[in-house]
């Protein structure tokens, strides 16, 4: 029988930090966790917008400012964060025009991967249970990981490949973190998940004519945000979920359906590339993990 959020046990006493919780999957994830008794911290760049949403959600929901495009903001958030149970690395940008973060990194890679890499490293000693990182079926769209030019210093920018690279990085990070936790003998766990395809605001921020037509098309092939959040909720709350499994929908080319073990590319499982990506991420962010 397919897993459903109704199976989530009482989460009273547990605290979840959800990045990018002021839209799309983040709102759905926050709302469901709060309904199960959890305390949820909405970590968002636009704190005012997040507060408006938090005020409409029943339960113990708090808002804290976090800009993943600014490592100083990441450090400030981490400095003010106490112990909690689950970090959900949900925030992301998709197929946006070329730009760089405040620290000089290509924006999709900087926000989707480096910001979360830094945040997780700074908070790891305060996470009691697990980390859930959202990847994407788009990780399959990149033929390689440009490990020697992750920051687009020497190649032409292609927004779709930049997004795919950032999502590949999310999945490789989740897996490498799990390897390192296991090697350290830690009981903490790291999960990589994908939501399938859903008509969230990600499909309306490319600053091209596609913004006006993509959402209706996506609604046809994907599933609603409430269902797209199932893989996140499953990995964040299910006690026996296997952290070495990539969880997500598998129907219609993985665009929709119940949460199941989902296929991923051979590239995403490359242990040497996972290690090198980790080392490059430490170099970019200046964050060294302590296990």
pLDDT tens digits, 28-60? 999 999 999 999 999 999 999 999 999 999 999
Range 104-109 contact pairs with CB under 8 angstroms and sequence separation of 24 or more: 104/151, 105/151, 105/284, 106/150, 106/151, 106/152, 106/157, 106/162, 107/69, 108/159, 108/162, 108/163, 108/165, 108/166, 109/150, 109/151, 109/152, 109/162, 109/165, 109/166, 109/169
Q: What are the tokens at 210?
A: 């596609």
- pLDDT of 100: 98
d(CA 124, CA 121): 5
Percent above pLDDT 70 for the chain:
92
Is 152 among the residues known to form the active site?
Answer: no
Evaluate whether 43 touches 18 at the Cβ level (below 8 Å): yes
Q: What are the tokens at 7?
A: 């199976």
d(CA 191, CA 245): 8
Mean pLDDT taken over the chain:
93
Strand, helix or coil for residue 189: strand
Q: What are the tokens at 34?
A: 């709060």
- 105, 152, 163, 246: the catalytic one is 163
- How sure is the predictor about 213, in pLDDT bands with cuts at 50, 70 and 90? very low
Give the predicted TM-score (pTM) of the model: 0.93
**Among the listed ranges 105-119, 209-223, 233-247, 259-273, which one has the minimum average pLDDT value?**
209-223
Is it the case that residue 215 has pLDDT exceeding 90?
A: no
Is it the case that residue 205 has pLDDT exceeding 60?
A: no
What digits encode the pLDDT tens for the residues 135-164? 999 999 999 999 999 999 999 999 999 999
User: Averaged over 68-86, what is the pLDDT?
Assistant: 98
Strand, helix or coil for residue 155: coil
């Amino acid at each position: 029988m397919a897993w459903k959020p109704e199976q989530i046990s009482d989460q009273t006493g547990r605290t979840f930090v959800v990045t990018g919780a002021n839209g799309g999957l983040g709102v759905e994830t926050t709302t469901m966790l709060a309904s199960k008794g959890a305390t949820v911290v909405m970590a968002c760049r636009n704190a005012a917008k997040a507060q408006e949403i938090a005020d409409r959600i029943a339960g113990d929901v708090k808002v804290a400012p976090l800009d993943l495009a600014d490592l100083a903001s990441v450090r400030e958030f981490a400095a003010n964060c106490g112990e909690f149970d689950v970090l959900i690395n949900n925030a992301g940008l998709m197929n946006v025009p070329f730009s760089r973060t405040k620290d000089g990194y290509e924006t999709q890679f900087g926000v989707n991967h480096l910001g979360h890499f830094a945040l997780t490293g700074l908070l790891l000693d305060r996470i009691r249970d697990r980390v859930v990182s959202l990847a994407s079926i788009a990780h399959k769209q990149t033929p390689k990981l440009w490990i020697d030019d992750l920051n687009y210093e020497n190649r032409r920018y292609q927004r779709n490949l930049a997004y795919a690279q950032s999502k590949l990085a999310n999945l490789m990070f989740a897996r490498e973190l799990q390897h390192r936790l296991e090697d350290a003998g830690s009981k903490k766990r790291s999960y990589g998940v994908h939501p399938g395809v859903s008509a969230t605001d990600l499909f309306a921020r490319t600053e091209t004519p596609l913004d006006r037509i993509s959402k209706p098309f996506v609604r046809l092939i994907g599933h609603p945000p409430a269902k797209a959040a199932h893989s996140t909720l499953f990995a964040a709350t299910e006690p026996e979920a296997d952290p070495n499994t990539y969880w997500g929908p598998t129907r219609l080319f993985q665009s929709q359906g119940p949460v199941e073990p989902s296929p991923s590319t051979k590239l995403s499982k490359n242990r040497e590339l996972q290690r090198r990506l980790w080392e490059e991420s430490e170099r970019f962010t200046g964050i060294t993990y302590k296990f």
